[in-house]
Amino acid sequence: MQSVITPITQLEATALKVREHIVRMSTDGGCFVGASLSAADLIVYLYADFLNINPNNLDDPNRDYLFLSKGHDVPALYGTFAELGILEKARLKNHLSLDDHIYWHPNTHIPGIEFHSGSLGHLPSVAIGVAMDIKIRGGKNKVVCIMGDGELNEGTCWEATLVANAHKLDNLIFVIDRNHFQANMPTEELIPLEPLQDKFTAFGAAVKRIDGHSFEALQEAFSAYPFETGKLNVVIADTVRGKGLPSIERRADRWFCNFNTEEVESLLKELHGEHLTNLTSETLVVR
C-alpha cells in the first residue's frame, strides 16, 4: 500500500474476496449490497495501490486520507480492510451485532475510518478541510472522497466542488461511483446527471472518466495525479450496481438486500461464475 503498482491479478483476487465478504454481510438483517458491489473495485484499488496508508501505523501524519461519503457501500470497505489487515476478519461476523460497531454506515470505531458518514453530501466538505490543512502545512498527503452518483443530488456536493476549486485543492480527488442508480431507480429517470463530466469541468475541476471495474483503467487514471496543477481532481468511475452478481446487476429493486442462507450460499458460487441464483427473498427494502 505504498503507491507501488500492484499486479492486476492480485487486485482482482482481493476484489473477489471483498465481494464474498459483502455477500456474507447481506443476510441476518442485510446490507446495501448493490452499492457495495459497484464500489468494491474502486475501494480495493485505492487502498491496495494508490493510497499511502500503512495498516500498522494508521495515525501516520504523512498518510493519505479516504472519505467514504456515500457511506452505505461500507461493506466494501469492511471487506477491503479485512483483506488488507486493517480490520480483523473475525469482526466481519459481528455485522449488526450490539457487541461491535460494524453497521450500515461508516464510523470511527473501525480502525482506518477517518470520519463517519451516512448523511449524503457531507464528506466532500470534510475532505476539503483536511486537504486545506495539508496545503497550509505544506504536506504531500493525498485526500480521496468517494461519492455516489445519487449523492450528487445533494447541493453540498456542488458547493464543495466550487469551494475546492476556489481554494486550488489539487491534493483532493472526488471519485464518483457512477453506477447509474439511486436508491429506487436509474439516476437518469429521476434527476438526470449527464453530461456529468461536462458539469464537473464547468465547475473548474480536472476530470477523468473511466471504467470503474477495470484495474488497468484505474491505475492509468490515478497515475496522472495531480491531473492539473491548482485544480480539484475528479474521477467519474462508470460502474455497475450489483457488479459480480448477474442475478442482481442493474436491478432497481436490489439496492438493499437481506438474503436467506441458501441464497447467500448460491450467490457465493455465482460470484465465481457458476450459475445464476434463484432469488426468492423480499426485494426492495428501503432503509
Partner 1 sequence: MSYEELLTQTALADDHFIVMTAENRALVRNIPGKLGNRFIDTGITEQTMIGAAAGLALRGRIPVVHALASFLTMRAFEFVRTDAGIPDLPIKLSSFIPGFLSDGNGPTHQAVEDISLMRGIPNMTVFAPADEQDLVMMLPEIWKHPHPSYVRINTRKTDYQHSPFKLGKAEIISRGEDVTILTYGLLFEQALIAVEILKNEGLSVGLINLRSLKPVDEQAILRATRDSALTITLEDHFVTGGLYSIVAEVLLKHCQTAKVIPMALKDKWFKPSLLPNVLAHEGFTGKQIAEKILGYNTNAYQPEMSIPQFSE
**131 touches partner 1 by CB under 8 A:** yes
- Three cell numbers written together for 66: 479516504
Q: Where are the alpha helices (DSSP H) in the chain?
A: 8-24, 33-45, 74-84, 123-137, 155-166, 187-190, 196-202, 215-223, 261-271
- Binding segment (CB under 8 A) for partner 1, from list 32-40, 96-104, 119-127, 181-189: 119-127
d(CA 8, CA 208): 20
**Residue 230 within binding range of partner 1, rule CB under 8 A:** no
In the shown chain, the binding pattern of residues 134 to 163 toward partner 1, with x for contact by CB under 8 A and - for none, equals xxx-------------------x--xx-xx
Sign of CA dihedral 39, 44, 46, 47: positive
- Edge-to-edge order in the sheet of strand 143-148: 65-68, 143-148, 172-178, 233-238, 206-211
Binding mask 236-275 for partner 1 (x = CB under 8 A): ----------------------------------------
Sorted by sequence, the CB contacts under 8 Å of residue 206 that are 6+ apart come out as: 170, 226, 227, 228, 231, 232, 233, 234
Burial of 187 (0-12, 13-18, 19+ CB in 10 A): buried
Determine if 125 is a binding residue for partner 1 (CB under 8 A). yes
- Report the alpha-carbon distance of residue 15 to residue 271 in Å, rounded: 11
Helix spans in 108-247 (H) = 123-137, 155-166, 187-190, 196-202, 215-223
Question: Given the rule CB under 8 A, which of 9-17, 129-137, 245-253, 261-269 is the region that contacts partner 1?
Answer: 129-137
User: What does the DSSP 8-state code read for residue 152?
Assistant: G
Q: Does 167 bind partner 1 (CB under 8 A)?
A: yes
| Closer residue to partner 1 in complex, CB, 8/132 | 132
Residue 119 in the binding site for partner 1 (CB under 8 A): yes
115 binds partner 1 (CB under 8 A): yes
One-letter amino acid for residue 209 of the chain: R
State yes or no: residue 74 binds partner 1 (CB under 8 A): no
**Measured from the CB of residue 40, what is the shortest distance to partner 1 in angstroms?**
26
58 binds partner 1 (CB under 8 A): no
Phi, psi values for residue 67, rounded to 5°: -115, 125
Q: Which is nearer to partner 1, 134 or 232 (CB)?
A: 134
Smallest distance from the beta carbon of 42 to partner 1, in angstroms? 21
Residue 66 in contact with partner 1, rule: CB under 8 A = no
128 binds partner 1 (CB under 8 A): yes
Q: Helix, strand or coil for residue 211? A: strand
Least distance (Å) from partner 1 to the CB of residue 117? 9
* Interface with partner 1, residue 39, by CB under 8 A: no
Q: Give me the least distance between CB of 106 and partner 1, in Å please.
A: 12
Closest to partner 1 by CB, 89 or 116: 116
**CA–CA gap between residue 106 and residue 100 (Å, rounded):** 13
Residues that bind partner 1 in the complex, under the rule CB under 8 A: 108, 114-116, 119, 122-136, 156, 159-160, 162-163, 166-167
